[in-house]
A and B are shown apart, each in its own frame.
Chain A
């Protein structure tokens, strides 16, 4: 009885011009199944697991002790705050180099009468199609003194041929710059798209009134780009707090030399997945605690940035 009633409703739904959820949900079930089982559920579970210790099967609730360990236990906290600081520097370099150059390139590329724009765009975007791993390996070889020395000595710059990736003071900077080299095409093209949406008339009017190129940039273009700057900041932030491949390729999962390139991403890998040196046993609870902190940070920063850059009206 019940099933036949359901069938009739489904049938009616299918033929009516405005069927209800009971009908449409069938179209969504396959996508929802994948999305829930492999994204929503594990993400929520990873948050919950931050309050537990041990592996699947013999898990014990420990309250906030994973977080307390991360913040105050001498071994863990040193690594955690170091990774946090390095990730902040990594992010700062991306903001200053990748995103500032992105704006510069976008402004140059939207000069309507310039020739060769398409070619420049294509070239700037090329590295984004490479795997981070490949980019990292390639630059690791290029920056190695074995290669850079003969080249730079030939140019009279032999002093510059140093093992930049092997020195604690410079490794993180060079890793960050290589990452900027790779991703600069994304902000560039997003700024290009945003600048194209701004009506030409606005600049024309400003130029007729005697404004200089710089004044137009600071006074008109930059304020109009504010929402997209916010978007790109969030994007950069999300990607930087996830970054792992670049350090894996150019240094190693320990963030060599001397943990100077250890990011939140590599710390997460060691704590939760691979196990810390020298014990080598992963602690899912600690890993989950790190991912919970990443989650909280992303949420807070995204909301703050969206609030600040939202255009009114």
Chain B
């Protein structure tokens, strides 16, 4: 049964896994054995590639910079997105329809085409060469999908529930905090996952804003180390493995949520 289907899917799975296997196993070999004996597991597992990369200090700083930019941006997207969606879901009028549409337009348009002006804005704000330059841009990038998902979700909460709380003397912010936010948790998870990958994996904005070593993000660091270790591929592979490990781990733990999060609202890739 399904032999043909399995054959096709196994073949593709091999095409996916083979390069990743090569990347990981060779990152544990020494410099020369990766050419002589590429496909077998290393005879001796050298962790020196990893310790060298990690002990140089730069890598951890790159990692930390990316981590700050992504976490702060995600938090802002979720908080500001929830506030805006809470209003949009309940406020019915011409203006709310317009504002909803206004946010949705941001899902269709790639923010990259605004780069020329963004570069000027960031320069005027004095944020050039700082990891803080990335945050407002990621927030603007992430808000449309957040508003889209969260507004839909809040609209499904029974109005009676909210009105009863209001009559009981609970303020609108209190209702948001005590009733709406806990119900929103799965939707917030979707929004966070959806934005995590483009934020973490973004090369474009760090590339055009940041040239200072101190402020480089992980991917910018990878470009530097790729050049620096060009003749030592096992180290390059260690860098590539290390840089993809955080998201890959999260993905393998929560693959169902990732697939759902990345395809359900997928207006953007």
Contact = CB atoms under 8 A, between A and B. Distances in A.
B121 to A, nearest CB: 6
B116 A134 contact: no
B44 interface: no
Interface string A91-103: 0000000000100
B119 interface: yes
B258 A125 contact: yes
Contacts of B87: 24-28
What is the predominant secondary structure among interface residues of chain B facing chain A?
helix
What is the predominant secondary structure among interface residues of chain A facing chain B?
helix
Interface in A114-129: 114-116, 120-129
Contacts of A151: 38-39
Contact of B110 (A238, A248, A269): A238
A2 interface: no
Contact of A291 (B113, B123, B219, B244): B113
A30 B110 contact: no
Interface stretch (B52-60, B184-192, B197-205): B197-205
A272 B87 CA distance: 39
A113 B140 contact: no
B226 A40 contact: no
Interface string A138-163: 11011000110011000000000000
Given A124-B12, A138-B19, A273-B208, A39 B262 contact: no
B40 to A, nearest CB: 12
A189 B91 contact: no
Contacts of A34: 76, 80, 136, 139-140, 143
Contact of A298 (B8, B109, B200): B109
A24 B163 contact: no
Nearest to A47: B113
Contacts of B36: 150
Nearest to B226: A137
Most interface-central of B143, B172, B263 (chain A CB within 10 A): B263
B115 A38 contact: no
Given A126-B16, A151-B39, A235-B266, A142 B90 contact: no
B219 A19 contact: no
A285 B22 CA distance: 45
A272 B113 CA distance: 11
B82 to A, nearest CB: 9
A284 B2 contact: no
B43 interface: no
A183 B269 contact: yes
B88 interface: yes
Contacts of A186: 262-263, 266, 269
B91 A43 contact: no
B228 interface: no
Contacts of B106: 35, 39-40
B166 interface: yes
Given A31-B81, A31-B84, A147 B38 contact: yes
A132 B171 CA distance: 46
B202 to A, nearest CB: 8
Contacts of A114: 1-2, 5-6
B226 A35 contact: no
Given A34-B139, A248-B203, A27 B84 contact: yes
A80 interface: no
Contacts of B83: 27-28, 30-31
A242 interface: yes
Interface residues of A, number: 91
B9 A108 contact: yes
Nearest to A45: B117
A105 interface: yes
Interface in B82-135: 83-84, 86-88, 90-91, 93, 95-96, 99, 102-103, 106, 108-121, 123-124
A41 interface: yes
Contact of A146 (B35, B111, B117, B226): B35
Nearest to B39: A151
A193 B208 CA distance: 37
B84 A32 contact: yes
Contacts of B208: 269, 273
B51 interface: no
A196 to B, nearest CB: 12
Given A31-B80, A31-B83, A186-B263, A137 B201 contact: no
B133 to A, nearest CB: 10
Most interface-central of B121, B124, B264 (chain A CB within 10 A): B121
B236 interface: yes
B141 interface: yes
Contact of B263 (A115, A193, A295): A193
Interface in A30-88: 30-32, 34-35, 37-43, 45-46, 49, 56
Contacts of A291: 112-116
A190 interface: yes
Given A46-B116, A147-B38, A238-B268, A39 B140 contact: yes
Nearest to B23: A138
A302 interface: yes
Given A30-B83, A114-B2, A239-B269, A41 B112 contact: no
In the complex, the 6 A-B pairs of residues with the closest C-beta atoms, listed nearest first: A42-B117, A27-B87, A38-B140, A31-B84, A131-B201, A24-B91
